[in-house]
């Protein structure tokens, strides 16, 4: 599906609950300029649009270009979305309901805009340009504030009958387990997301000394870098919680591998990238205890390789494909 060669730059926007990033991306997929702002997550749709435009203008400025030099834009957004209409139907993380981010951004920039699910965009970026490059069957999982994912089979994103398939984070890994943000219980996200890890650390800090838990209470959030540092310093509670998260990620991903039989499982997101190879190894070890479909152990587990650029690049690919379809 990737489009080869030719044409003016496009914009890719990674709209996250914490940060907004925009990039100007050339037809050879080089990022020519980037812009980044904190997400005004409590102020509603118009404030988010304004901040996206600031990021876009900053990225264009750094690329030495103007709004008239780009041909299209893509946005990766939390959802659920109406992809065809470019509308964010609902996002608790963005305080947005029924906001037509695609049409609004299109009117502001004067170019067509394609909006798609954020993790699907990131997963597609990794599939075409990152760790999944060269493979046709890929499972991508992103471990951050929540857990998102993207399944690619025969080079196509699995979207399902409702266009919402791929919600890896909401596979139940322990029946009747921890309550998840989705309303269900025992989802992978409720055990292994940054939110879940932070909640457990805070709880632990009420029973015994846990400097990281206390820091989360002070700052109101857990930074992936702080978690990684605590693990490096062998903070026993942090180590235990990271091992627990990796175990449940392995349970969920191992089951998925049995069903889909990918060539590679790509794991990204802020938590996974901060914790790095040791975390990946723990996940793979747990997953391999589930996997019965790979006796030769040929299925690979790899860290995502595009880092912060996965969303921007994936969104730019969707924008370019929209143009190619005409
Ligand atoms: Zn859930």
Instruction: Round to whole Å and give the CA distance between 149 and 169.
Output: 7
CA of 189 to the centre of ligand 1 (A): 6
CA of 250 to the centre of ligand 1 (A): 16
Cis status of the peptide bond prior to 213, with omega within 30 of 0: no
Q: Look at residue 231 in the predicted model and tell me its pLDDT.
A: 97
Confidence tier at 1 by pLDDT (50, 70, 90): very low
Give exposure, 59-79, as e/b (b: 16+ Cβ within 10 Å). bbeebebeeeebbbbbbbbbb
pLDDT tens profile 44-92:
999 999 999 999 999 999 999 999 999 999 999 988 899 999 999 988 7
pLDDT tens profile 190-215:
999 999 999 999 999 999 888 999 99
> Which residue stretches of 75-117 are H helix?
101-109
Is the CA virtual torsion 249, 254, 255, 261 positive or negative?
Answer: positive
CA of 195 to the centre of ligand 1 (A): 12
CA of 117 to the centre of ligand 1 (A): 17
pLDDT tens profile 160-182:
988 888 889 999 999 999 999 88
CA of 182 to the centre of ligand 1 (A): 4
What is residue 143's three-state secondary structure?
A: strand
Instruction: Round to whole Å and give the CA distance between 276 and 145.
Output: 17
Q: Is 50 exceeded by the pLDDT of residue 2?
A: no
pTM of the model: 0.90
Instruction: With beta carbons less than 8 A apart as the criterion, state whether 271 and 144 touch.
Output: yes
Q: Tell me which residues have their CB within 5 A of the ion that is ligand 1.
A: 170, 180, 182, 184, 187
Mean pLDDT along residues 137-148: 93
Q: Is 90 exceeded by the pLDDT of residue 326?
A: no
pLDDT tens profile 27-56:
999 999 999 999 999 999 999 999 999 999
Q: Look at residue 5 in the predicted model and tell me its pLDDT.
A: 53
Confidence tier at 93 by pLDDT (50, 70, 90): confident
pLDDT tens profile 278-317:
999 999 999 999 999 999 999 999 999 999 899 999 999 9
CA of 90 to the centre of ligand 1 (A): 16
CA of 320 to the centre of ligand 1 (A): 32
Q: Is 50 exceeded by the pLDDT of residue 119?
A: yes
Q: Residue 268's closest CA among 91, 135, 127?
A: 127
Instruction: Round to whole Å and give the CA distance between 228 and 242.
Output: 9
Mean pLDDT along residues 106-117: 96
Instruction: Round to whole Å and give the CA distance between 91 and 129.
Output: 28
Instruction: With beta carbons less than 8 A apart as the criterion, state whether 211 and 222 touch.
Output: no
Q: Look at residue 209 in the predicted model and tell me its pLDDT.
A: 87
* Token representation of residue 135: 């493979």
pLDDT tens profile 232-283:
999 999 999 999 999 999 999 999 999 999 999 999 999 999 999 999 999 9
Q: Residue 116's closest CA among 165, 160, 79?
A: 79
CA angle 303–137–190, rounded 5-degree value: 55
295: Cα separation from own chain's centroid: 30
CA of 229 to the centre of ligand 1 (A): 28
Q: Look at residue 6 in the predicted model and tell me its pLDDT.
A: 66
CA of 160 to the centre of ligand 1 (A): 18
Q: Is 70 exceeded by the pLDDT of residue 3?
A: no
Confidence tier at 98 by pLDDT (50, 70, 90): very high
Q: Look at residue 80 in the predicted model and tell me its pLDDT.
A: 85
What is residue 5's three-state secondary structure?
A: coil
Instruction: With beta carbons less than 8 A apart as the criterion, state whether 321 and 3 touch.
Output: yes
Q: In this structure, what are the phi and psi dihedrals at residue 234, rounded to the nearest 5 degrees?
A: 60, 35
Return all residues near 44 (Cβ < 8 A) that are at least 6 apart. 95, 96, 99
Which residue has tokens 């270009």? 65
Instruction: Round to whole Å and give the CA distance between 323 and 277.
Output: 38
Count Cβ atoms below 10 Å from residue 16 Cβ, excluding itself: 21
């Amino acid at each position: 599906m990737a489009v080869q060669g030719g044409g003016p730059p496009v914009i890719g926007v990674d709209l996250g609950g914490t940060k907004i990033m925009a990039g100007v991306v050339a037809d050879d997929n080089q990022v020519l300029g980037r812009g980044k702002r904190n997400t005004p997550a409590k102020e509603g749709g118009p404030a988010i649009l304004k901040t996206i435009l600031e990021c876009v203008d900053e990225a264009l400025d750094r690329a030495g270009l103007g709004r008239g030099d780009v041909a299209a834009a893509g946005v990766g957004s939390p959802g659920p979305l109406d992809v065809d209409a470019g509308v964010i139907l609902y996002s608790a993380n963005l305080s947005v309901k029924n906001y037509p981010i695609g049409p609004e951004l299109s009117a502001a920039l004067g170019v067509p805009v394609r909006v798609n699910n954020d993790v699907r965009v990131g997963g597609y970026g990794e599939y075409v340009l990152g760790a999944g490059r060269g493979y046709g069957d890929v499972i991508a999982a992103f471990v951050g504030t929540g857990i998102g994912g993207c399944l690619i089979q025969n080079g196509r994103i699995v979207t399902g009958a409702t266009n919402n398939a791929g919600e890896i984070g909401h596979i139940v890994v322990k029946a009747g387990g921890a309550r998840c943000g989705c309303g269900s219980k025992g989802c992978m996200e409720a055990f292994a997301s940054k939110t879940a890890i932070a909640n457990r650390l805070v709880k632990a800090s009420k029973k015994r000394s846990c400097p990281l838990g206390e820091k989360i209470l002070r700052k109101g959030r857990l930074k992936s870098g702080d978690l990684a540092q605590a693990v490096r310093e062998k903070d026993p509670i942090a180590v235990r919680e990271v091992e627990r998260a990796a175990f449940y990620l392995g349970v969920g991903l191992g089951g998925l591998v049995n069903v889909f039989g990918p060539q590679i499982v790509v794991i990204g997101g802020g938590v996974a990238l901060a914790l790095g190879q040791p975390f990946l190894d723990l996940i793979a070890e747990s997953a391999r205890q589930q996997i019965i479909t790979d006796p030769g152990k040929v299925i690979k587990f790899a860290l995502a390789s595009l880092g912060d650029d996965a969303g921007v690049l994936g969104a730019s690919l969707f924008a370019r494909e929209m143009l190619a379809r005409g």
